[in-house]
């Protein structure tokens, strides 16, 4: 446990506060021929979006290029739809609001390209759920780069020793630790009671 009291929590998005509403990998696999490798196609899409996650390049164009490589007839507008099929976990949202009401700063710290950022921020109004939202495409830095976390610390005016970062990805945890933050691995699949217990271990004011 940290020697400095935690007064700020950074929450990852996917796998921590939100989950898919459909099997998006299975959906993406329908965009190619049955004789093609669905796993390789999905991997190609994931690699292609990385520049746009750092605020470089265009996500739509990247997807269009992948579809062309795989000779897919799926329109780009249809191919990007799975990135919108997610929902926030109400219990986690409630825990965040409990912390905020108790004076704990709660911020979103997520790797997203501008297409998904618009959905989360403008359509789902994630800005209302947090004190501040930090999207990698805006910072032009992405986890697990420690520079991503340093940029957030500078923005919120906090020392890493007073900040807890929660993410479902081990490399991101290592990046946060390297930047001097407290960091814990958590996945929604563990259940929300596990998150409640995690926050309580750090002395954060969560009701039973």
Q: What is the pLDDT of residue 163?
A: 98
3-state class of 53 per DSSP? helix
Q: What is the pLDDT of residue 4?
A: 77
Report percent pLDDT > 70 for the chain: 98
Mean pLDDT of 93-113: 97
Lookup result for tokens 């669905």: 38
Backbone dihedral region for residue 8 (phi beyond 0: left; psi -120 to 50: alpha; all else: beta): beta
Q: What is the pLDDT of residue 16?
A: 98
Helix, strand, coil fractions of the chain, as percent rounded to 5: 50, 15, 35
Mean pLDDT of 31-42: 94
Closest by CA position to 162, among listed 32, 48, 25, 4: 4
Lookup result for tokens 């999905």: 42
Mean pLDDT of 27-55: 94
Tell me the C-alpha to C-alpha distance, in Å, between residue 164 and each of 75, 158, 174.
41, 11, 13
Q: How confident is the model at residue 189 (pLDDT cuts 50, 70, 90)?
A: very high
Q: Give the Cα separation of 204 and 69 in Å (integer).
A: 49
Dump pLDDT digits (tens) for 5-28: 999 999 999 999 999 999 988 999
Q: What is the pLDDT of residue 206?
A: 86
**8 A C-beta contact, residue 186 and residue 167:** yes
Q: How confident is the model at residue 55 (pLDDT cuts 50, 70, 90)?
A: very high
pLDDT of 119 above 90: yes
Q: How confident is the model at residue 105 (pLDDT cuts 50, 70, 90)?
A: very high
3-state class of 10 per DSSP? strand
Would you tell me the crossing angle of helices 38-48 and 59-69 to the nearest 10 degrees?
Answer: 150
Mean pLDDT of 72-94: 95
pLDDT of 2 above 90: no
Q: What is the pLDDT of residue 40?
A: 96
């Amino acid at each position: 446990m940290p020697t400095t009291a935690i007064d700020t929590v950074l929450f990852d998005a996917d796998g921590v506060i939100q989950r898919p509403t459909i099997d998006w990998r299975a959906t993406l696999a329908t965009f190619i021929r049955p004789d093609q490798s669905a796993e390789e196609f999905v991997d190609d899409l994931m690699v292609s979006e990385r520049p746009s996650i750092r605020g470089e390049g265009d996500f739509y164009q990247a997807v269009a290029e992948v579809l062309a490589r795989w000779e897919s007839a799926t329109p780009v507008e249809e191919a990007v739809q799975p990135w919108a099929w997610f929902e926030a976990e109400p219990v986690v949202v409630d825990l965040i609001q409990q912390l905020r009401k108790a004076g704990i700063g709660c911020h979103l710290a997520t790797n997203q390209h501008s297409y998904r950022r618009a959905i989360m921020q403008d359509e789902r109004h994630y800005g209302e759920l947090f004190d501040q939202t930090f999207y990698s495409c805006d910072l032009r830095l992405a986890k697990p780069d420690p520079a991503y976390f340093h940029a957030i610390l500078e923005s919120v005016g906090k020392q890493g020793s007073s900040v807890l970062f929660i993410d479902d990805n081990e490399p991101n945890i290592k990046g946060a630790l390297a930047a001097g933050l407290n960091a814990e691995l958590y996945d929604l699949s563990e259940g929300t009671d596990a998150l409640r217990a995690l926050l309580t271990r750090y002395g954060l004011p969560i009701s039973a």
